[in-house]
Structure 1
Amino acid sequence: MSEEKKFIRFMSARKVAAAFSLAAVLASILLIAVKGLNFGLDFTGGTLIEVIYEESVPLQEVRNTLETNGFESAIVVNFGSDTDVLVRLPQGLSPTLGEQVLSALRADSPYDVELRRIEFVGPQVGEELREQGGLAVLLALIVVLIYVAMRFQMKFAFGAVLALAHDVVITLGVFSLVGWDFDLTVLAAVLAVIGYSLNDSIVVADRIRENLRGMRGYSPVDIVNISLTDTLGRTLVTSGTTLMVLVALALVGGEMIHSFALALLVGVGVGTYSSVFIVASLLVAMKISPEDLIVPEKEGAELDELP
């Protein structure tokens, strides 16, 4: 063996990481089962009204107007500018409710109020969207399992899929714990987290495969540690720049993408952790070795090569 390579012993903390991840996943599942998710209008159904005021109006005045007219459960936010107001009302209300809200706002405001759009989502449509969203996440995990198994090896595939499931469950658990709105934009963010985390996992798996094939004199655990050390710089730079952008989006991106940015912030953070500890730890637990990467020869292959 040539000069010994220096590396960080990530796998020495794999048992602690496994215990932490297991506790976080179980807590997330318990939260989702007991408390549930705070589904937004996309999934629960209801009415969405966008209006534009002639001048900027404090949102509290709009809320007070709606409460006075019997719409206590209305959610009022700015949409893009101080004069653009978005009103969300929960399910159980009629499709004509939008016109009633608009009339109330016009009657109470000294400024002109222009209607931009009215959208009504029925509860049945919201339920279908929930089911389709869950199927989309499940299908994404199945496709990842097949892809990684074909590109690498089944042990890598199991590690990648379990890490992705870990990221999704914890992200949903955080949303359940904090009570953030879960709508279609958050579902899109969850699917984006699967893609981001998969990319990180493949980079790590590719380096582990390369080192398992090319390095001699090291144990599989040391090779995994060396591979993680080799990719650490890339992981930190990629995740760091991504998180910087997401923080900016969460702070100044506006209400409409706030939940999207929060979901990606949680997912990217957890995904970075899982690509280092979960994927690699599972490979070590499954006793990955260079022999796993040897392509078996077909019977009669030597005869096929004869002229």
Structure 2
Amino acid sequence: MKLQVTKQRSLWWGLSAALIIAGIIAMVISWQQFKAPLRPSLDFVGGTRLQLERDCSDASNCAAPLDIADIREVLADEGLGTSSIQIVGSEQQTLSIRTSELKVDARTQLVDALEARLGTFDPLATQIDTVGPTIGRQIFRAGISALLVSFLGITIYLSVRFRFDYAIFALVALAHDVLITLGIFSFFGLVLGQEADSLFIVALLTIVGFSVNDTVVIYDRIRETSKYNPDRLINDVIDDAVNQTLGRSIN
């Protein structure tokens, strides 16, 4: 099946615009909640995350699901009332708490207070991660710097290999791909609690690489076809280039 890309361009533009607008709305809502377009992980904001699971080897310990009101009350008593709380798992016996950076003594005191209120936790399932705010800022700056350097390198490369206007349109396509990805993950952060960590920056750089690679291949095919078939309509040349590249990318 051959896609009529240029003939159906209104459809593709409309679909892209709808996804980007929905993503921007999700990022605005995320900014209001998290002060960031995506739900940030500890990698970027720093702090302590505790994931605690009840020990259900004693059936009475897990007779009822965790109550978020009880958890908030314990955190408030410990001076951590602004912490983020999630109850996870189908049985709702596991809680995840993200709070400001806690020292070892403060973490131990918090876990003891939670156990006194909620029941014993399984020590083998306990996960505690701490990242300092300075390290979080450094990771964020390094990730943004990597993206900016990649954009600059792409602009220079395409300007030399093709023309400067080709580079501009490649950056527009790249921004399109990145915006849709950010919008999807922003939505996941709001609905599923998905957090963006340092690996997310790696994923974005990977998307940048694939996007530029496909753009370069399409440009090459358009230039080659136009050179050897100057009488062909440009719309047909573009359709052929996109369809050939799409099949190559999928395979």
What TM-score, normalized by structure 2, do the two folds share? 0.68
> How large is the RMSD of aligned CA atoms in angstroms?
3.9
**Count of residue correspondences:** 227
Q: Within the alignment, does 1:18 sit opposite 2:27 as a pair?
A: no
SS of alignment partner, residue 129 of structure 2: strand
Tell me: CA distance 1:130–1:232, structure 2 relative to 1, closer, same or farther (3 Å).
Answer: closer
Q: Within the alignment, does 1:231 sit opposite 2:245 as a pair?
A: yes
1:211 to 215, 225, 229: 225
Letter in 2 for 1:32: M
Tell me: CA distance 1:70–1:210, structure 2 relative to 1, closer, same or farther (3 Å).
Answer: same
Shift of 1:162: 1.2
Q: Which runs of 5+ in 1 are unaligned?
A: 1-5, 239-307
2:74 to 69, 77, 80: 69
2:140 to 130, 140, 144: 130
Shift of 1:225: 1.5
- Higher RCO (Cα < 8 Å, 6 or more apart): 2
Tell me: CA distance 1:182–1:151, structure 2 relative to 1, closer, same or farther (3 Å).
Answer: farther
Shift of 1:53: 7.8
Give the whole-Å Cα distance in 1 for the aligned partners of 2:16 and 2:69. Answer: 45
Shift of 1:228: 2.0
Shift of 1:110: 5.2
Tell me: CA distance 1:109–1:123, structure 2 relative to 1, closer, same or farther (3 Å).
Answer: same
- Among the aligned pairs, what percent are the same residue? 28
Letter in 2 for 1:219: L
Shift of 1:17: 2.8
Q: Which runs of 5+ in 2 are unaligned?
A: 32-36
**1:232-271 equivalence runs, <5 A:** 232-235=246-249, 237-238=250-251
Letter in 1 for 2:154: V
1:95 to 103, 106, 116: 103
Give the whole-Å Cα distance in 2 for the aligned partners of 1:133 and 1:86. Answer: 30
The residue aligned with 1:171 is 181
Per-residue CA deviation, residues 245-274 of structure 1 (Å, 9 max, x unaligned), is xxxxxxxxxxxxxxxxxxxxxxxxxxxxxx
8 Å contact from structure 1 (residues 66, 101) kept in 2: no
Residue range with higher mean Cα deviation, 108-117 or 10-19: 108-117
Tell me: CA distance 1:164–1:21, structure 2 relative to 1, closer, same or farther (3 Å).
Answer: same
**1:1-307 equivalence runs, <5 A:** 8-22=3-17, 24-26=19-21, 28-29=23-24, 31-33=26-28, 35-36=30-31, 37=37, 38-49=39-50, 60-61=65-66, 66-67=71-72, 69-70=74-75, 73-75=84-86, 87-91=96-100, 94-96=102-104, 97-104=106-113, 109=119, 113-114=123-124, 118-178=128-188, 179=190, 180-184=193-197, 185-235=199-249, 237-238=250-251
SS of alignment partner, residue 75 of structure 1: strand
Letter in 2 for 1:44: V
